[in-house]
Amino acid sequence: MTHFSQRLAQVQERISAACQRFGRNHEEITLLAVSKQHPAAAVREAAGCGLRSFGENFIQEAVEKTRALEDLQLEWHFIGHLQSNKTRLAATCFQWVQSVDRQRIARRLDAHRPHHAPPLNVCIQVSLEDEPGKGGVREDDVRPLAEAISGLPRLRLRGLMSIPPPTPDLEAQRAYFGRLRRLRDDLSRDGLALDTLSMGMSDDLEAAVAEGSTMLRIGTALFGPRTRTG
Ligand SMILES: *Cc1c(COP(=O)(O)O)cnc(C)c1O
């Protein structure tokens, strides 16, 4: 086995164990491989092990990779902070943008989504910090943004995404993820059909599985440490 396939087996084992412990079905959880700062060759190897969905944080880096790997027909998710002057590239090169946190970005993505392509899948990034800073809307502002996105024809609102503040404690991790799940449930009850809860990274995937995650965004546990920070 290669390094990558060993790491992948370990991650799948962690997900399976968490599913068993918390009564979840592994099949309802998508593994998004976060390939930021790793070269196209690493993504090609991951695809060779059966992974189809990849997450990137930096537009320019991602555009180069999507072009180099066009033959593989992968599904690309933008998960980083999106500047409004990059919305055209994001709407063209990605199938998903998970980090929508303001109406202006949503409107620009809608305007730039190519007409030959299906609607762009989007998630709203929610900030669960007491003092939001790193991007994401506050919980109170999620509903108006969700309603605005629902009115944009070239976007398809799929769900919510969050990066909670790091904590080593399982119960504290669960408390954050539980807030995101309840927010999703409230919106769904009011008629916004959201099928995606994008939560859980290398260090907190068990808590995310426990709280109903449908998409785990895993970088380090799959690809190893990144050379630069970000
Ligand atoms: C980098 C990143 C991840 C992956 O984090 P790891 O701890 O390396 O698994 C997931 N989500 C977002 C938004 C990221 O920026």
Query: Tens digits of per-residue pLDDT, 168-177?
Result: 999 999 999 9
- Residue that has been written with the tokens 């969905």 in this structure: 53
- Rounded average pLDDT over 5-26: 98
Query: Tens digits of per-residue pLDDT, 34-81?
Result: 999 999 999 999 999 999 999 999 999 999 999 999 999 999 999 999
What's the pLDDT score for residue 2? Answer: 77
User: Encoding tokens for residue 43?
Assistant: 């993504």
Tell me the CA distances in angstroms from 17 to 24, 155, 209, 210, one per residue in order. 10, 35, 10, 11
Angle among Cα 208, 90, 223 to the nearest 5 degrees reads 45
- Cα of 201 to ligand 1 centre, how many Å? 6
Using the atom order of ligand 1, give the atom closest to the CA of residue 98.
Answer: 13
Which residues contact residue 58 at a Cβ distance below 8 angstroms, ignoring those fewer than 6 apart? 36, 80, 230
User: Encoding tokens for residue 203?
Assistant: 């260090």
- In the chain, DSSP finds a helix count (H) and a strand count (E) of 9, 8
What's the pLDDT score for residue 228? Answer: 57
Q: Does domain 3-223 have CATH number 3.20.20.10?
A: yes
pLDDT band at residue 227 using 50, 70 and 90 as cut-offs: confident
Q: What is the pTM of this model?
A: 0.96
- Cα of 35 to ligand 1 centre, how many Å? 9
Exposure string of 15-38, with b = 16+ CB inside 10 Å and e = fewer, is beebbeeeebeeeebbbbbbbbbb
Residues whose beta carbon lies within 6 Å of some atom of ligand 1: 34, 36, 57, 79, 163, 201-203, 217-221
Query: Tens digits of per-residue pLDDT, 147-171?
Result: 999 999 999 999 999 999 999 999 9
* Segments making up each domain of the chain, as ranges: 3-223
Cα separation, 24 vs 132, in Å, equals 31
Contact 80, 56 (CB under 8 A): yes
Residue ID of nearest Cα to ligand 1 atom 10: 217
- Cα of 135 to ligand 1 centre, how many Å? 14
- Radius of gyration from C-alpha coordinates of the chain: 17
Using the atom order of ligand 1, give the atom closest to the CA of residue 79.
Answer: 13
